[in-house]
Amino acid sequence: MSDTWAGVLQVVALVLLLAVSYRPLGDYMAHLLTTRKHLRAEKALYKTMGADPEADQTWGVYLRSVLAISAVGVLLLYGLLRVQHHLMMALGMPKMQADLAYNTAASFVTNTNWQNYYGENTLGYVAQATGLAVQNFVSASVGIAVVATLIRGFTRSKTDRLGNFWVDLTRIIVRLMLPLSIVFAIVLMAGGVVQSLGDHMTVVHTINGDQRLYTGATASQEVIKELGTNGGGIFDGNSSHPFENPNGFTNLIEIYLLLVIAFALPRTFGKMVGSHKQGYTIVSVMAVIWLGSLAFATFAETHHHGVNLVTGHAGLEGKESRFGIPASALFMTSTTLTSTGAVNSTHDSYTPFGGGAAMFNMMLGEIAPGGTGSGLYGMLILAVVTVFIAGLMVGRTPEYLGKKIRPTEMKYAALYILTTPAIVLVFAGIAMALPGETARMTNSGPHGFSEVLYAFTSMGNNNGSAFAGLGGDTTWWNTAGALAMMFGRFLPMVWVLALAGSLARQKPVPESSGTLKTASPLFAGMLLGTVLLVVGLTYFPALSLGPLAEGLH
């Protein structure tokens, strides 16, 4: 009972923190994405990069800029991991094997942070801080930059220009990510999170030698891990490790960090399009999905059938005793509905329906509230689909925010919706068809299939969490996983930027009596229905073979 009330209080505190942050943070992000003033430090960076801050880019040039910095990031991180044994503060760690280095580089550049290795036994401090943490900043900022172009597509008319990627990226890092990371690193350190660049900490002397623990600059990397919805932890235990997440206070702060930017971006959207009601509509749908998923997951973990669960009054296996079931379900729901992938409990140990909820959260496209930027542009794509369906019902050309949704826009929206499920299901099918790779599953039957399905759902949606029963550190899994992560990150961005360019070229359509009111409870309900029917049901056959079959057994 005490865990239940503690969980309720943590949810209430979290909602209040997010509500208080919604307006100021959302308005601030709108300002930094629209102001024409450049800070002195930003000008210096533009000069170093050779970028013209006054140049406005077409969607194609913007996309090439995104792909260019991502490609360079993969190459640099891959090289760093391969030579880390020569770097200072390597702590005696060897270089990372080629296929694992490729997988890790692709993972962190795509904002996935899937880890086929044990952090404290694999990476030195320089590789962690200058390799992985740098990509945590860049990949998160790229997502916000891309959604900014989609919003500009709605606000601009008769133009093919959507902004400057290098300006957007620099401002997001310098004015948003770095300041927040510094402030909350101090907060986490005050809460007990470790921060050290010293050698391993000696915790006890024994007759067999000293027992020493890896520490690292944990607090500073923990912040950007959560704030940027990255998720890759310094330790294999991730946010269940006491060095990363020592108590209930830090647990609350970490959940807040992984949600705050994504939940504030609808305010940014409303501010930039000139209608705060539009932002409230989007964030309300996000909130309903988040609360509904949280309620379902908590119920599944406390009331699921089974002799052991009934006897123990709940599914306690894999839960961190410091947090209990409600706080564990809260973290799980929040991390799988964003593209974070951080964990404070073992998802593989959840009940079949609880684990299925984690999978379904990712299958929705992580839009409630989603990753930094990616959640909002996913929801806006679904809003476009919703107005198109509504237009078909009444026999008129659909409009959204003054722009007609024509066949061209719907093609890009349809490609966006179909891309990730195709990646997830094709790769999962291939994995199940390869006998040598199914041998990597520690479980058979529906749960074994769930492990594979979860893995590619996580990688294809750039989440990064996993069912622990799958041993993925093989050449095939590292290579296939890297491809799934890169396709899952960059192909949807192509369709988003192409849609933004198509919308920006249009002339605004004046609102008429037949225009669907998109800032209304009716539209919010229609959007929610579209999310569940168009996206969620795509995966129903696969879910039937995994968590549903296991849960109903």
Q: Confidence band (pLDDT; 50, 70, 90) for 211?
A: low
Give 234 or 409, the one with higher predicted confidence: 409
Give 171 or 446, the one with higher predicted confidence: 171
Closest CA to 339 of 60, 144, 77, 544: 144
pLDDT at 314: 52
Closest CA to 485 of 133, 63, 74: 74
* CA–CA gap between residue 133 and residue 268 (Å, rounded): 26
Burial profile 367-389: b = 16 or more Cβ within 10 angstroms, e = fewer: bbbbbbbbbbbbbbbbbbbbbbb
- Mean pLDDT over all residues of the chain? 90
Closest CA to 266 of 518, 499, 508: 518
Query: Looking at residues 336-340, what average pLDDT do you find?
Result: 94
* CA–CA gap between residue 527 and residue 84 (Å, rounded): 48
Q: Confidence band (pLDDT; 50, 70, 90) for 3?
A: low
pLDDT digits (tens, 9 = 90+) for 401-444: 999 999 999 999 999 999 999 999 999 999 988 877 665 667 77
pLDDT digits (tens, 9 = 90+) for 4-21: 777 788 899 999 999 999
* CA–CA gap between residue 269 and residue 508 (Å, rounded): 18
Closest CA to 369 of 336, 328, 410: 336
Query: What percentage of the chain has pLDDT greater than the value 70?
Result: 93
**pLDDT reading at 203 higher than 80:** no
Least confident of 39-43, 124-128, 415-419, 437-441: 437-441
**pLDDT reading at 545 higher than 60:** yes
Q: What is the DSSP string of 471-499?
A: ---SHHHHHHHHHHHHHHHHHHHHHHHHH
**pLDDT reading at 1 higher than 80:** no
pLDDT digits (tens, 9 = 90+) for 74-101: 999 999 999 999 888 888 889 999 999 9
Give 209 or 264, the one with higher predicted confidence: 264
* Per-domain residue ranges of the chain: 372-551
Closest CA to 116 of 369, 459, 392: 459
pLDDT at 439: 56
Q: Confidence band (pLDDT; 50, 70, 90) for 321?
A: confident
pLDDT at 396: 74
121 burial class (0-12, 13-18, 19+ CB within 10 angstroms)?
exposed
pLDDT at 97: 94
Q: Which residues pair with 513 in a beta bridge?
A: none
pLDDT at 251: 94
DSSP state of 441: B
pLDDT at 434: 84
* CA–CA gap between residue 476 and residue 529 (Å, rounded): 38
* CA–CA gap between residue 198 and residue 194 (Å, rounded): 11
Give 439 or 325, the one with higher predicted confidence: 325
pTM: 0.94
248 burial class (0-12, 13-18, 19+ CB within 10 angstroms)?
middle
**pLDDT reading at 307 higher than 60:** no
Q: Confidence band (pLDDT; 50, 70, 90) for 176?
A: very high
The secondary structure of the chain in percent helix, strand, coil, rounded to multiples of 5, reads 65, 5, 30
